Structure 1
């Protein structure tokens, strides 16, 4: 798995989380709290949009931090991330950052 596939998997996970969090019949704590809030349709749409932005920003920032392009708790450095077969996914060379931009902001 290379950086593009890794980021694509992260983007797919973001999309799956958003769907699970906002499914009225969902089994997540977030979906339960949304139901309890008894929001109007417009309010629900705004909250769902905010959750989507929060998920995107969180995952994108973590991906950039792994690549050394953003700080993690005020500490900026690159990390070497490999899959179980030893293939390098991230080593601070910018490929993870570029793939993250494409997956999360070029849509």
Structure 2
């Protein structure tokens, strides 16, 4: 697996989580809160944009932190991530570059 493939899986997870939260049949705690807010008159579109932005920024920050490009919890460390086959995923800032493309530039 490459760093880009890892980031792409994170992006897919973010999409699925967002979809789950806004599914009318969602049993998640976030989904319940969204339903309650919509019932009080808050726009579902505005909530979607808010949650989408929070997830994008959170995933992006976490991925950059794992790549050593920013701090996590006020500590900046370069981590080395390997897949189960022993392949290094974050060589030469590959995660940072892919994270920007998938989460901030939205491929």
Pair in the same fold by TM > 0.5 = yes
Alignment of structure 1 residues 19-30 onto 2, 5 Å:
19-30=19-30
- RMSD of the TM alignment (CA)? 1.3
**Alignment length, in residue pairs?**
105
Q: Structure 2, unaligned stretches of length 5 or more?
A: none
Residue 48 of structure 2 is matched in structure 1 by 48
TM-score between both structures, scaled by the size of structure 1:
0.91
Consecutive aligned runs of 4 or more in structure 1 exceeding 4 Å deviation: none
3-state SS in 1 of match to 2:89: strand
Q: Return the offset for 1:28.
A: 1.0
Q: Deviations over 1:44-71 (max 9, x none)?
A: 2111110000000000000000111110
TM-score between both structures, scaled by the size of structure 2:
0.91
Q: Which has the higher contact order (CA 8 A, sep 6+)?
A: 2
3-state SS in 2 of match to 1:88: coil
Task: Select the structure that is richer in strand.
Answer: 1
3-state SS in 2 of match to 1:84: coil
